[in-house]
Structure 1
């Protein structure tokens, strides 16, 4: 208890606004008749989200004439700058769906939902789900979870917090359709994984944060000298259900790495149970050190999720970067107007490597320096000089990113994820993963290599089945792939391998018969084993080949070669 006291938070990690319930008609039938859903703000369209997330400091060209120190204060406002990018819009869409989808099976007016409060939540958690996906009360949870991981400084936490603040945190219900309905709905709750990675501390912080937001006394009722993480889990599930928690967000998940093989498994198992058994959506946020999430039980919580995990990396130097920098560049308080040239754009990217937080800090420091030295101009040389002085501790990391120095990158775990773990996960769950930034390009390259390896193995297997020796099979498969650059249809490459292999095998078969004819004495003493016996299915191929003389026709007739159109039909 003493060890964890300093980690108990005395203020909310993030506090949103509270309001009275105002019920809105729902277009989607599954959302109708559920007060938790009807009290939410309307579903925002993409244009609305972009407008709501945009945050530009107050700016006017006349402010350039103000005093130097006053203008430096203006520059400081850039830290609140927010230019919505495509991945922000996709992330908001994921939150919008996950909150609403989680509420579908948790209608507080439903008898099956009310029934769980007459059953102990410890029993519900312990029992889990049956074969139909229902918990012991008969409820079928509709919730899912996903993860957001990315490089430090890319704006994960900022994006999540701005999106959560689009929703009221607490909605006070009193009447629903003229009938009394008293409930304080907790739409979202954001916690941070404790620095110690302790599940016990996380549980204590849950009670404390809920009390600070709702004005309740759950901490006092559930936390004492004898509290253990085991006896706090069920009350958390009950409170989350009682107050209709729409989504639980836990940030800084990389801290769990400190307690791998112990606290990590316990925490992730519990969060998975919240999703699967109780139906509370959970979103986990962390740096690339959090790639262990893809190897854990939490990965199974994506079973019903179409939202997908979000993997964020530094921006490419392209459309998104230009949109971001052009918007940022408009916030300029130097007396002399310095238009954004290609050279300035290049220098800003080189010195920040497309990491938004670093780019903003660099731009702020460059303006302060221009105002202080009275040149009142932002130049490429000034930006480079400021980067050397103000980003001294970050420069080795940025240089490793710039040069793609794999050895250096390994020393900084937050620069890139464990690529093997991450890429295997992405390949196996490709439809569920959204990758943003430079990491997307690396994944595409890795995916192509993976596909090429699969094709190679398939061609070698075909050549071996056609009677070639392993060395020959590998050689001709490699030749076919190289000839097409690895981009030809797999069916065409299979046909080419089959043509080569069957021609070689046919020649070998003919030479063997000729040799037997010329050496009757040897044949009488020792029977020569044919390359292919009569029972082998490939014997039919050779029989057809003798009649037709065309390899592809022979293969088609025995069903070993299909046209590309036929193969597509089978796949569909």
Structure 2
């Protein structure tokens, strides 16, 4: 049974738009943000902080610094655009599936969706360190509680359980059957019921149509509004098998009107190379590229660092300056996860000093040099700009600090774990220069992204970009 803590009957609103007010699947949802500033406030997540906490005993302040584990500042325009567009897609998808209409009831019993629009597949891309998965977490959080239990709507009985989204990681070397099976097990965990677990094992010889029928049953029965596939780059390991899974996604989109978001590193872009049809399908709902800055002068980078700098639990904080932003960029090369890790470690080092508790540019560089040695190789690769090495950045970063699965894939017997450690030979980089839940209420600057003049090609620049999840940061902090 569903948890007794699950709230029955969501709070429906009337906004004067008939196609929304008459649909119980979206009448309770928050509308997409009106503006980029609204989206900024909706996405932002800052740690609890009070300057008076700097007077607390050191043991307590060390714990306070760990609040930075939950921290997200959507300084990139693409962050805000992703929230607005993906939320809009969820509304569009539900409008054609209103269960209070004859058409909506027909869908529940196997009928086709009468689409007046084309549902979309969106791609969120980047390399480890820039917050892809955290961005998706915040977007899903904005939509509302994952499970909504309805009992009645506008005086009519409506006893239905709605699952706003289903989110899974793509297992390495998976098949269509394996991927579908993970959705069955995951749905059972979300609903806290035993309905679909193991059912896909009986379909091993049923083919794609049989798998599609079962996934369709889950999506229609529980009014799923969004499908999210993370670690999408794992499909690049599958050769022709990747096309079968992409075909499955396209079928779900076309037959059920279900918007889909795929999330992955730049290796996922290899699936687009040489196949215009696949490329078009994977980006028609939006391509959200979380690019890392290529210089410390980047206005978005300076804004991020300045906001982050407010959260200091040391006794003698100094004012933010561009030198601080330069130092943080030098040791992280624009990777948000690394920057936060170094910032936390620098505060802890200042507390341990026993003298002046002050974090400045020199301490930041010193802490990175002495305490972050496992990250030196990854940062040197980013600093080099060598495309041959940049292609290995994700493997090195994630092998150092494995990402904890948001979907409990570690307990899923269908998911294979890769223990292979990919290494870059020391002699390949020897000649490189070594590297020495409250809404945010911040006044944002109206700044523009400065233009840069890179010497690399456009494809090489794409490979330079890197992104990461907040759970990577948590894993790093746990090992401090």
Q: TM-score range by the shorter chain?
A: 0.7 to 0.9
State the distance in 1 between where 2:68 and 2:394 align.
29
Q: 1:256 to 1:443 in 2, by over 3 A?
A: farther
Identify the residue that residue 96 of structure 2 maps to in structure 1.
105
Deviations, residues 101-158 of structure 1 (Å, cap 9, x unaligned):
1112212223233334544xxxx8xxxxxxxxxx5x7555642111101021100101
Identify the residue that residue 157 of structure 1 maps to in structure 2.
133
Q: 1:315 to 1:438 in 2, by over 3 A?
A: farther
Deviations, residues 215-249 of structure 1 (Å, cap 9, x unaligned):
34332472345545633321111220222111011
Identify the residue that residue 92 of structure 1 maps to in structure 2.
83
State the distance in 2 between where 1:146 and 1:67 align.
48
Structure 1 residue 332 corresponds to structure 2 residue 312: yes
- How far did 1:87 drift? 2.5
Deviations, residues 294-340 of structure 1 (Å, cap 9, x unaligned):
3465544369x4x4111112135322112211111111111112222
Structure 1 residue 239 corresponds to structure 2 residue 218: yes
Which structure's CA Rg is the greater one?
1
Identify the residue that residue 28 of structure 2 maps to in structure 1.
39
- How far did 1:177 drift? 1.8
Gaps of 5+ in 1: 1-15, 125-134, 416-435, 448-572
Structure 1 residue 249 corresponds to structure 2 residue 239: no
Q: 1:278 to 1:140 in 2, by over 3 A?
A: farther
- How far did 1:199 drift? 2.7
* TM-score, normalised via structure 2 length: 0.74
State the distance in 2 between where 1:199 and 1:439 align.
43
The equivalences for 1:272-351 within 5 A come to: 272-295=250-273, 298-301=278-281, 305=284, 307-316=285-294, 317=296, 318-351=298-331
3-state SS, counterpart of residue 171 of structure 1: strand
Identify the residue that residue 63 of structure 1 maps to in structure 2.
53
State the distance in 1 between where 2:16 and 2:371 align.
53
Identify the residue that residue 201 of structure 1 maps to in structure 2.
178
* TM-score, normalised via structure 1 length: 0.63
Q: 1:446 to 1:241 in 2, by over 3 A?
A: same
Which structure dedicates a bigger proportion of its chain to helix? 1
State the distance in 1 between where 2:453 and 2:152 align.
53
Structure 1 residue 219 corresponds to structure 2 residue 171: no
Q: 1:286 to 1:440 in 2, by over 3 A?
A: farther
The answer (yes or no) to whether the contact 1:18–1:171 under 8 Å persists in 2 is yes
Structure 1 residue 390 corresponds to structure 2 residue 371: yes
- How far did 1:27 drift? 4.2
The answer (yes or no) to whether the contact 2:203–2:211 under 8 Å persists in 1 is no
3-state SS, counterpart of residue 232 of structure 1: helix
Q: Return the structure number with greater relative CO, CA threshold 8 A, min gap 6.
A: 2
Q: 1:437 to 1:351 in 2, by over 3 A?
A: farther
Structure 1 residue 356 corresponds to structure 2 residue 336: yes
State the distance in 1 between where 2:83 and 2:211 align.
31
Q: 1:265 to 1:389 in 2, by over 3 A?
A: farther
State the distance in 1 between where 2:168 and 2:7 align.
18
Number of matched pairs = 395
